[in-house]
């Protein structure tokens, strides 16, 4: 059930992989434990965050709307975790004796992609929202409720499109009778896998550039003397908390995962026939995937750390206009 599980037959083109095997049997137990912890923490933290956000109308400014969408995206992955835990439980008992169906694979991967890229896109929305609030405070029209709702709706359409499209590409490159496993031993399968990899990296790199630009601009403004006055100190501190937490989530969850994914995929489709890299990326892939999955537990803390700022902006009318 890993994002890019592959199976390679040694007699097919990638014979170098037959001598680059590494024992990853630990992943069955590792995934069961890590996903169980993530499920419990993610269910508790996102439920509390959604409850507080939805039951407090005063928080429904632009920042609150993006945070509701972020928690909702995380909940999609949380509810998929029992399916994944069951998958690895069955595989641990009989690695070759149980094969899930196409519908099972599609559902789990769709929920996974919704959380992963919904999380990335809505974290970027929060970054742009902070950018507009600090760097362009007079552009209040761009932070109104209606604008935030329309933007969130557009992002949901994009995320759902990616989340349905990527599993369809997986199916086209899957091994017969094993729909959860990719088979890169055929040229047309490799092409499909690389197209999907391009979509995945485009969905990660472009938002990352926007996020880094937004936060670098915000930090540049906040270093100015006028933002260090006592009257603005609390707002400045809350904004910095959001910045550091979002950057921390990106650095911990998304960057290592996508870097490892790149090496993992390129070695297993034969474009980068490096035995050492193939072993390392395959060995650490379960850890990187679990780190990426843990973002659904960390994201709700963005709301808890910034709730004072959300309430204050809502009460003062910042970004809360309905038109």
* Domains of the chain listed by start with CATH number: 46-316 (1.20.1070.10)
Please answer whether residues 113 and 163 qualify as being in contact, where contact means their C-beta atoms are separated by less than 8 angstroms: yes
Predicted structure pTM score:
0.82
DSSP 229: S
Q: Does residue 234 surpass a pLDDT of 70?
A: no
- Cα–Cα distances in angstroms (integers) from residue 210 to residues 121, 125, 171, 242, 300, in the given order: 10, 9, 32, 16, 21
Q: So what's the pLDDT on residue 307?
A: 63
pLDDT, greater one: 215 or 9: 215
Q: State the pairing for strand pair 178-182/174-175.
A: antiparallel
Please answer whether residues 112 and 3 qualify as being in contact, where contact means their C-beta atoms are separated by less than 8 angstroms: yes
Q: So what's the pLDDT on residue 320?
A: 46
Burial grade of 253 (CB within 10 A; 0-12, 13-18, 19 or more): buried
Among the residue ranges 7-16, 35-44, 105-114, the one predicted with the least confidence is 7-16
Q: So what's the pLDDT on residue 81?
A: 92
Residue among 69, 76, 75 at smallest CA distance from 110: 76
| Helix axes 145-172 and 187-222, enclosed angle (nearest 10) | 160
Instruction: Give every CB contact of residue 252 below 8 A, 6+ residues apart in sequence.
Output: 291, 294, 298
Q: So what's the pLDDT on residue 230?
A: 59
Q: So what's the pLDDT on residue 13?
A: 44
Summarize pLDDT for 131-177 with one digit per residue, the tens.
988 888 887 788 888 899 999 999 999 999 988 888 888 777 777 77
Q: So what's the pLDDT on residue 16?
A: 55
DSSP 141: G
Look up tokens 């100190």; give the residue: 233
* Alpha-carbon gap, residue 159 to 168, rounded angstroms: 14
Q: What is the 3-state secondary structure (H, E, C) of 229-267?
A: CHHHHHHHHHHHHHHHHHHHHHHHHHHHHHHHHHHHHHH
Summarize pLDDT for 81-134 with one digit per residue, the tens.
998 898 888 878 776 666 777 788 888 888 888 988 898 999 999 889 889 888
């Amino acid at each position: 059930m890993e994002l890019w599980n592959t199976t390679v037959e040694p007699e097919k083109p990638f014979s170098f992989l037959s001598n680059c095997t590494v024992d990853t049997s630990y992943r069955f137990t590792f995934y069961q434990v890590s996903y169980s912890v993530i499920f419990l923490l993610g269910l508790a933290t996102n439920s509390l965050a959604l409850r507080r956000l939805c039951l407090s109308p005063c928080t429904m400014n632009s920042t609150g709307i993006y945070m509701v969408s972020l928690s909702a995206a995380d909940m999609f992955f949380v509810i998929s975790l029992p399916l994944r835990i069951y998958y690895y439980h069955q595989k641990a008992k009989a690695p070759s004796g149980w094969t899930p169906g196409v519908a099972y694979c599609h559902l789990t991967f769709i929920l996974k992609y919704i959380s992963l890229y919904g999380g990335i896109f809505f974290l970027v929305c929060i970054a742009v929202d902070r950018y507009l609030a600090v760097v362009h405070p007079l552009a209040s029209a761009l932070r109104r409720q209606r604008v935030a709702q329309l933007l969130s709706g557009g992002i949901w359409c994009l995320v759902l499109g990616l989340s349905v499209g990527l599993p369809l590409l997986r199916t086209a490159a899957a091994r017969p009778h094993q729909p959860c496993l990719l088979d890169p031993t055929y040229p047309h399968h490799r092409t499909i896998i690389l197209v999907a990899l391009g979509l995945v990296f485009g969905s990660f790199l472009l938002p990352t550039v926007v996020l880094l630009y937004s936060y670098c601009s915000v930090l540049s403004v906040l270093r100015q003397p006028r933002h260090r006055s006592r009257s603005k100190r609390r707002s400045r501190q809350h904004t910095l908390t959001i910045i550091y937490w979002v950057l921390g989530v990106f650095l911990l969850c998304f960057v290592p995962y996508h870097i490892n994914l790149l090496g993992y995929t390129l070695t297993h489709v034969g474009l980068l026939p490096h035995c050492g890299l193939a072993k390392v990326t395959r060995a650490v892939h379960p850890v990187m995937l679990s780190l990426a999955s843990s973002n659904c537990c960390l994201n709700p803390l963005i709301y808890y750390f910034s709730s004072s700022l959300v309430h204050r902006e809502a009460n003062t009318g910042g970004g809360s206009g309905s038109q």
